[in-house]
Amino acid sequence: MTERTAVEELLRELSPQILGVLVRRYRDFAGAEDAVQEALLAAATQWPAEGLPSDPRGWLIAVAVRRLTDKWRSDEARRRREELGAVREPAAPPEVSEKDDSLSLLFLCCHPALTPGSAIPLTLRAVGGLTTAEIACAFLVPEATMAQRISRAKQRIKSSDVPFRMPAPAEWAERLRSVLHVLYLIFNEGYAPSTGADVARSALSGEAIRLTRALHGGLPDDPEVSGLLALMLLTDARRPARTGPNRELVPLAEQERALWDQALIAEGVALISAALPRGAVGDYQLQAAIAAVHDEAATAEDTDWPQILALYGLLERMTGNPMVALNRAVAAAMVDGPAAGLALLAGMDGRLAGHHRIDAARAHLLEMAGDVNGAIAHFRAAAGRTTSLAERTYLATKAARLGAIGT
């Protein structure tokens, strides 16, 4: 993504607010989005030349509403409005704060009626203000494909008749969970060394952090929102050390810790330290706590593995996720020796059969135990099963290095 000017930054911040206002008033997601895009375009050309209006937000709303009503003057559009009006005539819009409009838009885009594959680009487009081309580039798909996906997502929201408002108390927990999950997935998409589109992809992590910060700004007392933001910051802090000079993966234990971003770590630790004592511990908080323990260790050897083992135990009980169980086995090996970890892994083949992660974990533990041939066999098996190029290179290289030592 290119550098943005001050006007572009302002427009990007205002765009979800304006869209939120129009969607709430007129219930026409696609029409509102087109109108907002036109208003933003008008602003982007007029403001730098003529200076900022005294009320940029009001200016944009006025222009967007005018564009939307202009569009409705055509016969077909008028018919659609009448149909929409008959079905769900909006009451006079209650005056809601700008913040709530942005948040409502986020909740709408991350609605559980959408698959993550639809909710992610819709959120990036409508709330993040990224262009379709930028999103397509980040996900390495053609722009037309991405445009189609976004348009279908909007269609789906329209046909599912989801009301545009903050969720009611009864559905609050589930809806917030969807929002956090989508933000988490956006972050993960960007947190990966990949060939070709590095810049666009790492921008996704930045975007996820920006959106989660905004959510945290609106819901400062929700401990899971704090937990997710902390998790992102504590993970992103390690990004500079995560890849080597040839874009190869560098595992946590071998990372150059001086490269870690201490400001992000401090912010993440402060967030998670404030969230945990509130009592409503959720899995994002636990993951953030684990990340914090790693980040606070000056060297890999200083890592407080007993604490990490305990946290993984809690996380496994809470989520029942087999990947968490696998990480707990590795932590157990660090605390009680490789035999303890291998024993835990032995009980997991059923749930993770054929997954490269279990081979990779077993290979590492066999290497710790000094079983070079066993380690090589499992590194190779893992390399054959992963669908990530960077991981395959890492795992194949591990196998080759051990082979060179063994002979």
Partner 1 sequence: MKYMLLMSTAPVDGVPPMHEWAPQDAMANGMHMMQIHQELTESGELLGAEALSGSEAAKIVTGDGLSAPVVTDGPFPEAKELLAGFWMIDVESEQRAIEIAARTSAAPGPGGRPWRKPIQVRPVMSRPDPEV
Task: Report whether 135 contacts 195 (CB < 8 A).
Answer: no
Site track 203-242 with partner 1 (rule: CB under 8 A), x = hit: --------------------------------x-------
Q: Cβ contacts of residue 364 below 8 Å, gap of 6+?
A: 330, 375
- Going by the DSSP 8-state scheme, the letter that residue 248 receives in this structure is -
Beta-ladder partners of 243: 249
Tell me how far, at minimum, the Cβ of 146 lies from partner 1, in Å.
Answer: 7
Tell me how far, at minimum, the Cβ of 357 lies from partner 1, in Å.
Answer: 7
Rounded Cα–Cα distance for residues 208 and 293 (Å): 23
Tell me how far, at minimum, the Cβ of 173 lies from partner 1, in Å.
Answer: 23
Segment 89 to 108, residues that bind partner 1, using CB under 8 A? none
Closer of 46 and 151 to partner 1 (Cβ): 151
Tell me how far, at minimum, the Cβ of 274 lies from partner 1, in Å.
Answer: 23
Helix, strand or coil, per DSSP, at residue 335: helix
Tell me how far, at minimum, the Cβ of 327 lies from partner 1, in Å.
Answer: 5
User: Which among 216-224, 302-310, 341-349, 380-388 is the span making contact with partner 1, rule CB under 8 A?
Assistant: 380-388
Is 388 an interacting residue with respect to partner 1 (CB under 8 A)? yes
Rounded Cα–Cα distance for residues 395 and 17 (Å): 46
Q: Given candidates 30, 314, 323, 343, which one binds partner 1 under the rule CB under 8 A?
A: 323
Task: Report whether 330 contacts 361 (CB < 8 A).
Answer: yes
Closer of 54 and 387 to partner 1 (Cβ): 387
Segment 146 to 205, residues that bind partner 1, using CB under 8 A? 146-150, 152, 188-189, 191-194, 201
Rounded Cα–Cα distance for residues 378 and 172 (Å): 44
Is 327 an interacting residue with respect to partner 1 (CB under 8 A)? yes
Q: Given candidates 115, 160, 262, 373, which one binds partner 1 under the rule CB under 8 A?
A: 115
Rounded Cα–Cα distance for residues 284 and 227 (Å): 5
* DSSP letters for 81-118: HHHHHHH-PPPSPP---HHHHHHHHHHHHT-TTS-HHH
Is 379 an interacting residue with respect to partner 1 (CB under 8 A)? no
Amino acid in position 169: P
CA distances in angstroms from 116 to 108, 112, 149, 150, listed in the order given:
13, 9, 11, 12
Task: Report whether 286 contacts 314 (CB < 8 A).
Answer: yes
CA distances in angstroms from 163 to 109, 159, 333, listed in the order given:
12, 11, 50
Q: Given candidates 7, 10, 340, 390, which one binds partner 1 under the rule CB under 8 A?
A: 390
Q: Given candidates 6, 274, 389, 400, which one binds partner 1 under the rule CB under 8 A?
A: 389
Tell me how far, at minimum, the Cβ of 234 lies from partner 1, in Å.
Answer: 12
Is 287 an interacting residue with respect to partner 1 (CB under 8 A)? yes
The footprint of partner 1 on this chain (CB under 8 A) covers a number of residues equal to 37
Q: Given candidates 29, 72, 107, 139, which one binds partner 1 under the rule CB under 8 A?
A: 139
Closer of 131 and 388 to partner 1 (Cβ): 388
Rounded Cα–Cα distance for residues 274 and 277 (Å): 6
Is 145 an interacting residue with respect to partner 1 (CB under 8 A)? yes
Binding site for partner 1 (CB under 8 A): 115-117, 139-142, 144-150, 152, 188-189, 191-194, 201, 235, 249, 252, 287, 323-324, 327, 357, 386-392
